[in-house]
A = this chain, B = another copy of it.
Protein backbone atom coordinates (compact mmCIF):
# COMPACT_ATOMS: atom_id res chain seq x y z
CA UNK A 1 0.00 0.00 0.00
CA UNK A 2 2.86 2.36 0.80
CA UNK A 3 4.84 1.39 -2.32
CA UNK A 4 5.23 4.17 -4.83
CA UNK A 5 3.02 3.58 -7.87
CA UNK A 6 4.42 1.38 -10.68
CA UNK A 7 2.30 2.20 -13.72
CA UNK A 8 3.43 -0.76 -15.83
CA UNK A 9 2.68 -3.27 -13.11
CA UNK A 10 -0.69 -1.71 -12.30
CA UNK A 11 -1.77 -1.89 -15.91
CA UNK A 12 -1.04 -5.60 -16.03
CA UNK A 13 -2.91 -6.15 -12.79
CA UNK A 14 -5.87 -4.20 -14.13
CA UNK A 15 -6.00 -6.22 -17.34
CA UNK A 16 -5.70 -9.45 -15.37
CA UNK A 17 -8.53 -8.38 -13.10
CA UNK A 18 -10.74 -7.46 -16.05
CA UNK A 19 -10.07 -10.79 -17.73
CA UNK A 20 -10.78 -12.68 -14.51
CA UNK A 21 -14.02 -10.74 -14.10
CA UNK A 22 -15.12 -11.59 -17.64
CA UNK A 23 -14.38 -15.27 -17.10
CA UNK A 24 -16.19 -15.33 -13.77
CA UNK A 25 -19.28 -13.78 -15.37
CA UNK A 26 -19.59 -16.34 -18.17
CA UNK A 27 -17.67 -19.52 -18.92
CA UNK A 28 -15.95 -19.54 -22.28
CA UNK A 29 -18.39 -21.91 -24.07
CA UNK A 30 -21.45 -19.96 -23.01
CA UNK A 31 -19.87 -16.63 -23.80
CA UNK A 32 -19.43 -17.89 -27.35
CA UNK A 33 -22.75 -19.76 -27.68
CA UNK A 34 -25.21 -20.81 -24.97
CA UNK A 35 -27.11 -22.95 -27.51
CA UNK A 36 -24.41 -24.99 -29.26
CA UNK A 37 -26.83 -27.72 -30.42
CA UNK A 38 -29.00 -25.19 -32.24
CA UNK A 39 -27.99 -24.44 -35.82
CA UNK A 40 -27.94 -20.83 -36.91
CA UNK A 41 -31.28 -19.96 -38.50
CA UNK A 42 -34.59 -18.21 -37.85
CA UNK A 43 -35.55 -20.34 -34.82
CA UNK A 44 -32.31 -19.74 -32.93
CA UNK A 45 -32.38 -16.08 -33.88
CA UNK A 46 -35.97 -15.70 -32.67
CA UNK A 47 -35.10 -17.25 -29.30
CA UNK A 48 -31.96 -15.19 -28.76
CA UNK A 49 -33.60 -11.95 -29.88
CA UNK A 50 -36.56 -12.55 -27.56
CA UNK A 51 -34.39 -13.34 -24.54
CA UNK A 52 -32.24 -10.30 -25.25
CA UNK A 53 -35.28 -8.04 -25.55
CA UNK A 54 -37.02 -9.10 -22.34
CA UNK A 55 -33.82 -8.96 -20.27
CA UNK A 56 -32.60 -5.57 -21.55
CA UNK A 57 -33.88 -2.32 -20.00
CA UNK A 58 -36.23 -0.79 -22.55
CA UNK A 59 -39.75 -1.06 -23.87
CA UNK A 60 -39.81 -4.88 -24.02
CA UNK A 61 -38.14 -5.51 -20.65
CA UNK A 62 -39.94 -8.06 -18.45
CA UNK A 63 -39.07 -8.32 -14.73
CA UNK A 64 -37.69 -11.76 -13.74
CA UNK A 65 -40.73 -13.01 -11.76
CA UNK A 66 -42.87 -12.56 -14.89
CA UNK A 67 -40.43 -14.47 -17.12
CA UNK A 68 -42.52 -17.63 -17.10
CA UNK A 69 -41.64 -20.21 -19.78
CA UNK A 70 -43.86 -23.27 -20.22
CA UNK A 71 -42.84 -26.45 -22.05
CA UNK A 72 -44.85 -29.42 -23.13
CA UNK A 73 -42.96 -32.66 -22.39
CA UNK A 74 -43.79 -35.54 -24.78
CA UNK A 75 -42.37 -34.68 -28.20
CA UNK A 76 -41.11 -31.30 -26.98
CA UNK A 77 -38.53 -32.12 -24.31
CA UNK A 78 -38.14 -35.85 -24.98
CA UNK A 79 -39.23 -38.34 -27.62
CA UNK A 80 -42.67 -39.93 -27.76
CA UNK A 81 -42.36 -42.70 -30.37
CA UNK A 82 -43.30 -45.42 -31.08
CA UNK A 83 -45.60 -44.77 -28.10
CA UNK A 84 -45.67 -42.34 -25.20
CA UNK A 85 -43.00 -43.50 -22.74
CA UNK A 86 -45.52 -43.38 -19.91
CA UNK A 87 -47.63 -45.89 -21.83
CA UNK A 88 -44.59 -48.17 -22.08
CA UNK A 89 -44.31 -47.86 -18.29
CA UNK A 90 -48.03 -48.64 -17.92
CA UNK A 91 -47.69 -51.74 -20.13
CA UNK A 92 -44.72 -52.98 -18.10
CA UNK A 93 -46.67 -52.45 -14.89
CA UNK A 94 -49.75 -54.18 -16.31
CA UNK A 95 -47.62 -57.15 -17.30
CA UNK A 96 -46.22 -57.39 -13.79
CA UNK A 97 -49.70 -57.04 -12.29
CA UNK A 98 -51.06 -59.82 -14.53
CA UNK A 99 -48.17 -62.07 -13.54
CA UNK A 100 -49.25 -61.73 -9.91
CA UNK A 101 -52.98 -61.88 -10.63
CA UNK A 102 -53.77 -63.95 -13.75
CA UNK A 103 -57.47 -63.10 -13.45
CA UNK A 104 -56.53 -59.73 -14.99
CA UNK A 105 -55.78 -61.55 -18.27
CA UNK A 106 -59.49 -61.65 -19.04
CA UNK A 107 -59.12 -57.95 -19.93
CA UNK A 108 -57.82 -57.27 -23.47
CA UNK A 109 -55.46 -54.52 -22.31
CA UNK A 110 -53.74 -56.75 -19.74
CA UNK A 111 -53.63 -59.67 -22.20
CA UNK A 112 -51.96 -57.46 -24.81
CA UNK A 113 -49.54 -56.07 -22.22
CA UNK A 114 -48.63 -59.55 -20.99
CA UNK A 115 -48.07 -60.91 -24.50
CA UNK A 116 -46.15 -57.85 -25.68
CA UNK A 117 -47.60 -58.63 -29.12
CA UNK A 118 -47.42 -55.39 -31.15
CA UNK A 119 -50.54 -56.39 -33.14
CA UNK A 120 -52.61 -56.92 -30.00
CA UNK A 121 -51.31 -53.63 -28.58
CA UNK A 122 -52.14 -51.74 -31.76
CA UNK A 123 -55.66 -53.20 -31.73
CA UNK A 124 -56.46 -51.75 -28.29
CA UNK A 125 -59.20 -49.14 -28.25
CA UNK A 126 -59.05 -45.89 -26.35
CA UNK A 127 -61.18 -47.37 -23.57
CA UNK A 128 -58.67 -50.19 -23.10
CA UNK A 129 -55.78 -47.73 -22.96
CA UNK A 130 -57.52 -45.55 -20.38
CA UNK A 131 -58.28 -48.68 -18.32
CA UNK A 132 -54.62 -49.63 -18.50
CA UNK A 133 -53.44 -46.15 -17.56
CA UNK A 134 -55.80 -45.92 -14.61
CA UNK A 135 -55.06 -49.43 -13.33
CA UNK A 136 -51.29 -48.96 -13.57
CA UNK A 137 -51.39 -45.57 -11.84
CA UNK A 138 -53.61 -46.38 -8.86
CA UNK A 139 -54.04 -48.82 -6.00
CA UNK A 140 -50.95 -47.60 -4.18
CA UNK A 141 -49.92 -44.47 -2.36
CA UNK A 142 -47.99 -41.59 -3.90
CA UNK A 143 -44.64 -42.57 -2.33
CA UNK A 144 -44.99 -46.13 -3.64
CA UNK A 145 -45.85 -44.87 -7.11
CA UNK A 146 -42.79 -42.63 -7.30
CA UNK A 147 -40.60 -45.55 -6.17
CA UNK A 148 -42.12 -47.77 -8.88
CA UNK A 149 -41.59 -45.14 -11.56
CA UNK A 150 -37.99 -44.53 -10.47
CA UNK A 151 -37.29 -48.27 -10.55
CA UNK A 152 -38.69 -48.42 -14.08
CA UNK A 153 -36.56 -45.51 -15.25
CA UNK A 154 -33.49 -47.23 -13.81
CA UNK A 155 -34.07 -50.48 -15.70
CA UNK A 156 -36.28 -50.04 -18.78
CA UNK A 157 -34.68 -49.60 -22.20
CA UNK A 158 -36.26 -48.11 -25.31
CA UNK A 159 -36.98 -51.01 -27.72
CA UNK A 160 -35.68 -49.23 -30.83
CA UNK A 161 -33.01 -46.92 -29.47
CA UNK A 162 -31.59 -49.39 -26.94
CA UNK A 163 -30.94 -46.76 -24.33
CA UNK A 164 -32.74 -45.70 -21.13
CA UNK A 165 -35.90 -43.68 -21.69
CA UNK A 166 -34.66 -40.75 -19.61
CA UNK A 167 -31.67 -40.40 -21.97
CA UNK A 168 -34.01 -39.73 -24.90
CA UNK A 169 -34.35 -36.08 -23.96
CA UNK A 170 -33.46 -33.45 -26.54
CA UNK A 171 -30.02 -31.90 -26.11
CA UNK A 172 -31.02 -28.55 -27.70
CA UNK A 173 -33.89 -28.25 -25.23
CA UNK A 174 -31.63 -28.96 -22.25
CA UNK A 175 -29.50 -26.06 -23.46
CA UNK A 176 -32.55 -23.87 -23.96
CA UNK A 177 -33.90 -24.58 -20.46
CA UNK A 178 -30.52 -23.73 -18.93
CA UNK A 179 -30.19 -20.61 -21.10
CA UNK A 180 -33.62 -19.36 -20.04
CA UNK A 181 -32.93 -19.98 -16.35
CA UNK A 182 -29.56 -18.23 -16.65
CA UNK A 183 -31.55 -15.27 -17.96
CA UNK A 184 -33.91 -15.13 -15.01
CA UNK A 185 -36.76 -17.21 -16.43
CA UNK A 186 -38.65 -19.81 -14.44
CA UNK A 187 -39.05 -22.94 -16.56
CA UNK A 188 -42.19 -25.03 -16.17
CA UNK A 189 -43.40 -28.30 -17.66
CA UNK A 190 -47.08 -28.35 -18.66
CA UNK A 191 -47.75 -31.78 -20.09
CA UNK A 192 -50.50 -34.27 -20.73
CA UNK A 193 -48.26 -36.80 -18.98
CA UNK A 194 -48.96 -37.81 -15.41
CA UNK A 195 -47.51 -35.38 -12.88
CA UNK A 196 -46.25 -38.10 -10.53
CA UNK A 197 -44.63 -40.00 -13.39
CA UNK A 198 -42.80 -36.91 -14.65
CA UNK A 199 -41.58 -35.95 -11.20
CA UNK A 200 -39.78 -39.31 -11.02
CA UNK A 201 -37.26 -38.19 -13.67
CA UNK A 202 -37.73 -34.55 -14.65
CA UNK A 203 -35.67 -32.81 -12.01
CA UNK A 204 -32.60 -34.91 -12.77
CA UNK A 205 -33.18 -34.78 -16.53
CA UNK A 206 -34.16 -31.14 -17.03
CA UNK A 207 -33.40 -29.30 -13.80
CA UNK A 208 -37.11 -28.58 -13.38
CA UNK A 209 -38.12 -29.03 -9.72
CA UNK A 210 -41.34 -30.86 -8.72
CA UNK A 211 -43.26 -27.67 -7.91
CA UNK A 212 -42.79 -26.50 -11.50
CA UNK A 213 -44.21 -29.65 -13.08
CA UNK A 214 -47.87 -29.54 -14.08
CA UNK A 215 -49.45 -32.62 -15.60
CA UNK A 216 -52.50 -34.82 -15.76
CA UNK A 217 -53.42 -36.19 -12.38
CA UNK A 218 -55.58 -38.75 -10.67
CA UNK A 219 -57.63 -38.17 -7.59
CA UNK A 220 -56.17 -39.11 -4.22
CA UNK A 221 -57.59 -39.99 -0.82
CA UNK A 222 -55.96 -38.91 2.44
CA UNK A 223 -55.86 -41.84 4.88
CA UNK A 224 -54.31 -42.52 8.24
CA UNK A 225 -52.75 -45.99 8.28
CA UNK A 226 -51.62 -46.96 11.76
CA UNK A 227 -51.50 -43.26 12.50
CA UNK A 228 -49.36 -42.45 9.46
CA UNK A 229 -50.97 -40.35 6.74
CA UNK A 230 -50.78 -41.53 3.14
CA UNK A 231 -52.28 -40.26 -0.09
CA UNK A 232 -53.84 -43.21 -1.90
CA UNK A 233 -53.94 -42.91 -5.68
CA UNK A 234 -57.51 -43.61 -6.76
CA UNK A 235 -58.66 -45.05 -10.10
CA UNK A 236 -60.32 -41.73 -10.97
CA UNK A 237 -59.10 -38.90 -13.14
CA UNK A 238 -58.52 -35.52 -11.48
CA UNK A 239 -57.36 -33.31 -14.33
CA UNK A 240 -56.48 -33.94 -17.98
CA UNK A 241 -53.70 -31.49 -18.73
CA UNK A 242 -54.11 -31.39 -22.49
CA UNK A 243 -55.61 -28.93 -24.95
CA UNK A 244 -57.74 -26.37 -23.05
CA UNK A 245 -56.68 -28.10 -19.83
CA UNK A 246 -53.22 -26.55 -20.23
CA UNK A 247 -54.21 -22.87 -19.91
CA UNK A 248 -56.69 -23.87 -17.20
CA UNK A 249 -53.93 -25.51 -15.17
CA UNK A 250 -51.43 -22.73 -15.91
CA UNK A 251 -53.88 -20.29 -14.35
CA UNK A 252 -54.59 -22.60 -11.42
CA UNK A 253 -50.97 -23.47 -10.65
CA UNK A 254 -48.95 -20.46 -11.79
CA UNK A 255 -51.47 -17.62 -11.79
CA UNK A 256 -49.38 -15.68 -14.31
CA UNK A 257 -49.55 -15.58 -18.09
CA UNK A 258 -46.45 -17.23 -19.62
CA UNK A 259 -44.27 -15.16 -21.92
CA UNK A 260 -42.82 -18.17 -23.74
CA UNK A 261 -44.56 -21.43 -24.67
CA UNK A 262 -43.03 -24.40 -26.47
CA UNK A 263 -45.02 -27.38 -27.72
CA UNK A 264 -45.13 -29.82 -30.60
CA UNK A 265 -48.71 -30.93 -31.17
CA UNK A 266 -52.37 -29.96 -31.35
CA UNK A 267 -52.60 -30.61 -27.61
CA UNK A 268 -50.43 -27.53 -27.12
CA UNK A 269 -52.49 -25.20 -29.31
CA UNK A 270 -54.50 -23.59 -26.50
CA UNK A 271 -51.38 -23.13 -24.35
CA UNK A 272 -49.73 -21.25 -27.22
CA UNK A 273 -52.89 -19.21 -27.85
CA UNK A 274 -53.06 -18.30 -24.16
CA UNK A 275 -49.41 -17.20 -24.22
CA UNK A 276 -49.80 -15.31 -27.50
CA UNK A 277 -52.69 -13.31 -25.98
CA UNK A 278 -50.45 -12.03 -23.20
CA UNK A 279 -50.32 -8.22 -23.50
CA UNK A 280 -46.54 -8.04 -23.09
CA UNK A 281 -43.76 -9.57 -25.21
CA UNK A 282 -44.28 -13.25 -25.93
CA UNK A 283 -42.83 -16.08 -28.01
CA UNK A 284 -44.54 -19.25 -29.24
CA UNK A 285 -42.65 -22.25 -30.60
CA UNK A 286 -43.46 -25.70 -31.97
CA UNK A 287 -41.10 -28.61 -32.62
CA UNK A 288 -41.74 -30.18 -36.03
CA UNK A 289 -40.68 -33.83 -36.10
CA UNK A 290 -39.24 -34.04 -39.61
CA UNK A 291 -36.11 -36.03 -38.95
CA UNK A 292 -36.64 -39.71 -39.73
CA UNK A 293 -32.90 -40.30 -39.81
CA UNK A 294 -32.03 -39.05 -36.33
CA UNK A 295 -35.40 -39.24 -34.59
CA UNK A 296 -38.84 -39.78 -36.19
CA UNK A 297 -40.83 -37.95 -38.85
CA UNK A 298 -44.54 -37.44 -38.22
CA UNK A 299 -47.10 -34.66 -38.12
CA UNK A 300 -50.67 -34.36 -39.47
CA UNK A 301 -51.48 -38.07 -39.80
CA UNK A 302 -49.75 -39.35 -36.68
CA UNK A 303 -51.85 -40.89 -33.91
CA UNK A 304 -49.22 -39.80 -31.41
CA UNK A 305 -48.21 -36.14 -31.29
CA UNK A 306 -50.58 -35.04 -34.06
CA UNK A 307 -49.45 -31.68 -35.45
CA UNK A 308 -52.21 -30.42 -37.71
CA UNK A 309 -54.42 -27.55 -36.52
CA UNK A 310 -51.68 -26.07 -34.38
CA UNK A 311 -49.37 -26.11 -37.40
CA UNK A 312 -51.89 -24.20 -39.50
CA UNK A 313 -52.27 -21.66 -36.73
CA UNK A 314 -48.50 -21.40 -36.33
CA UNK A 315 -48.13 -20.57 -40.01
CA UNK A 316 -51.01 -18.08 -39.95
CA UNK A 317 -49.78 -16.33 -36.80
CA UNK A 318 -46.05 -16.60 -37.47
CA UNK A 319 -45.29 -18.71 -34.47
CA UNK A 320 -41.81 -20.21 -34.66
CA UNK A 321 -41.78 -23.71 -36.13
CA UNK A 322 -38.57 -25.51 -35.20
CA UNK A 323 -37.48 -28.08 -37.76
CA UNK A 324 -35.68 -30.85 -35.96
CA UNK A 325 -33.79 -31.70 -39.13
CA UNK A 326 -32.71 -28.18 -39.99
CA UNK A 327 -32.52 -26.40 -36.62
CA UNK A 328 -30.98 -29.00 -34.33
CA UNK A 329 -27.30 -29.88 -34.73
CA UNK A 330 -27.64 -32.76 -32.30
CA UNK A 331 -30.88 -34.42 -31.15
CA UNK A 332 -30.07 -36.58 -28.11
CA UNK A 333 -27.29 -36.15 -25.57
CA UNK A 334 -24.23 -38.24 -26.37
CA UNK A 335 -24.88 -41.75 -25.12
CA UNK A 336 -22.16 -41.64 -22.47
CA UNK A 337 -24.09 -38.97 -20.55
Chain A positions near chain B (C-beta within 8 angstroms): 1-5, 65, 142, 186, 195, 199, 209-211, 213, 217, 220-222, 224, 228-229, 231, 238, 244, 247-248, 251-256, 270, 273-274, 277
| Cα distance A73–B186 in the bound complex, in angstroms | 26
**Bound-state Cα–Cα, A6 to B106, Å:** 92
How close is A270's CB to chain B, nearest CB, in angstroms?
Answer: 6
Partner of A253, one of B209, B224, B248, B253: B253
Residue among A1, A186, A211, A277 with the most chain B CB within 10 A?
Answer: A211
Knowing A222-B244, A222-B247, A277-B228, say if A217 contacts B5 (CB, 8 Å). Answer: no
Report Cα–Cα, A220/B210, bound state, in Å.
Answer: 24
- A222-B244, A251-B220, A252-B238 known; A229 vs B5 contact (CB < 8 Å): no
Contact pick for A274, options B195, B229, B248, CB 8 Å: B229
In the assembled complex, the CB of A221 is this many whole angstroms from the nearest CB of chain B, namely 8
A4 to B4, CA, bound (A): 10
Give complex CA distance A231, B217 in Å.
20
Is B210 a contact partner of A229 (Cβ separation < 8 A)?
A: no
Query: Hey, which chain B residues are within 8 Å of A244, CB to CB?
Result: 221-222
Using Cβ atoms and an 8 Å threshold, which residues of chain B touch A229?
A: 247, 270, 273-274, 277
* Minimal beta-carbon separation of A167 from chain B (angstroms): 23
A253 and B211 contacting across the interface, CB-CB below 8 Å: yes
Measured CB to CB, the closest approach of chain B to A180, in angstroms, equals 16
A220 CA / B246 CA spacing, docked (Å): 11
**Bound CA–CA A256/B209 (angstroms):** 10
Q: How far is the CA of A65 from the CA of B210 in the complex (A)?
A: 10
A254→B244 CA distance, assembly (Å): 22
